[in-house]
Structure 1
Amino acid sequence: MKVTGNGGYVMQSWFDVYNFDIENREEDAVGLAGAADWLNAFVDREVEEFGIPPERVIVGGLSQGGAVVCRALVGSERRLGGAFMLCSYVPLRRRVLEMKTPFASQIPLFWGHGIMDAQVTFPLALRSAKQLALDLETTFLRTSHPLTPESLQEDFKRQSEGTGKSSNSSAAGKATLRFCYYGDLGHWFSEEEISDLAVWMNGILGNGRYKEVGGVGEAEGEEEGEAGMDVDDG
């Protein structure tokens, strides 16, 4: 698509980018909504056509893809298993309160970010993550590497105690936003970050039950039919 901030030249993009001042720029609300709708429709198909429980679905993305995931999470009509954002930001962050659904506060979020990120600066990412947790009424936790299975147990306990009868109920327990940071990482990902993400995903898909394998928690008793989807920066 033609990207305004790139002089109108065609490039791969999920939505139009008017300029590259992430903190202060006007945003393409229509394009973001369209990209989020596409992602939600994909999840709907996985659930309805293939019978995958929504709580077994994790969506995630890198940079611009993470922004799409965030927009989809805020407006989600299902309680998904989780969502993750890597070196990303909160799009339309001043409109989260008006856009959020009851399910948005029930979806665990992993946000990985490098302190050396020059495109989405660390201070902006940290402020945005804290504000997102506040707006969604979720628990904010800032964590350095390594993320351990044991550190996740309270997350799942807290959420399960408030969940009630159904995982799709709008009265389900509040989730946790895990903000994990990495000292020498720029606008990309690292082995340490992917390792932490794997621990977090295993905790969700394995219902928090672990055995240690090679230093990384492996979930016990995982069910068949789990689905995960990455939305990358393209």
Structure 2
Amino acid sequence: MATAANYIRKSADVVGVAKNGKATASIIFLHGLGDTGHGWSSLIDEIRPPFMQFNCPTAATIPVTLNLGFQMPSWFDIRSLEVGGSEDEAGIKEAAHSVHGMINNEIRAGIPANRIILGGFSQGGALALYSALTYPEKLAGVVGLSCWLPLHSSFPAAKVCPDSTPVLLCHGDSDPIVSYKFGQLSHSLLKSLLKTTQLKTYRGLAHQSSPQEISDIRDFINQHVPHA
């Protein structure tokens, strides 16, 4: 199992500088199980504003219980995708700690927390949601695609983020991997924790993105990270 020290493979991270040469905002986007930072970097590059830099890190390769112990890039072990199934609590918390470190690195580089978007797809989206809720400062926004809120029973006690942190959830209603009901249940819980949480549903969409979803993400970024 990866530890906090080796959980990010720096050589596989994909980083993009601001297109206009002066970064005043940032997006950190976390890939899904078995993918790498390269899997989403081109898309993030397309939809980010010119003043926004991005970081698409790659998870360490670890054994994953759900995939019969085969090793693959994974932010934490996944033991089940059933409601109420066993979760890798220690791994999730350790991964969130590392994501907090990424956010802090952006802040030290001069980007304020309220101009940082944190997002992810599938397992990466799950980690983004948990990391944002357990981070003490208000982020510009959180984007969770085809995902769920891990360790949901630990909330509201585990929540330390401001109530004003905005969240966008996007989920296809025909997702065969992460069931749409996970998106619905996560949305219901997040609405009780935060002031601004929305769930965008895409009819007929499986475990993937779509042009409409990408447009909705772009709109969310532009709404919550104005030019500066």
Same fold per TM (> 0.5)?
yes
Cα deviation digits, residues 15-70 of structure 1 (max 9, x gap): 01123x3313110011111111111101101102x111111100100000001101
1-side partners of 2:82 and 2:143: how far apart?
A: 19
Counterpart in 1 of 2:225? 205
Counterpart in 2 of 1:9? 70
Counterpart in 2 of 1:24? 84
Counterpart in 1 of 2:166? 108
The runs of 5 or more residues in structure 1 that have no matched partner are 139-174, 207-221, 224-234
Is 1:195 the equivalent of 2:215? yes
2-side partners of 1:104 and 1:85: how far apart?
A: 18
Percent of pairs identical after alignment?
A: 31
> When the two structures are superposed, what TM-score results if normalisation uses the length of structure 2?
0.70
2-side partners of 1:75 and 1:4: how far apart?
A: 25
Counterpart in 1 of 2:178? 120
SS at match of 1:98: coil
2-side partners of 1:8 and 1:122: how far apart?
A: 26
Cα deviation digits, residues 74-106 of structure 1 (max 9, x gap): 1011111111000001101111212111x2422
2-side partners of 1:17 and 1:38: how far apart?
A: 18
Cα deviation digits, residues 161-184 of structure 1 (max 9, x gap): xxxxxxxxxxxxxx3001111102
The runs of 5 or more residues in structure 2 that have no matched partner are 1-61
Q: Amino acid of the residue matched to residue 68 of structure 1?
A: L
1-side partners of 2:65 and 2:146: how far apart?
A: 22
Q: Which residue, 61, 71, 91 being the options, matches 2:130?
A: 71
CA RMSD of aligned residues (A): 1.2
Asked which structure has the greater RCO (Cα within 8 Å, sep 6+), the reply is 1
SS at match of 2:73: coil
2-side partners of 1:88 and 1:104: how far apart?
A: 22
Q: Which residue, 186, 190, 197 being the options, matches 1:132?
A: 190
Q: Amino acid of the residue matched to residue 118 of structure 1?
A: P
1:73/1:104 contact within 8 Å kept: no
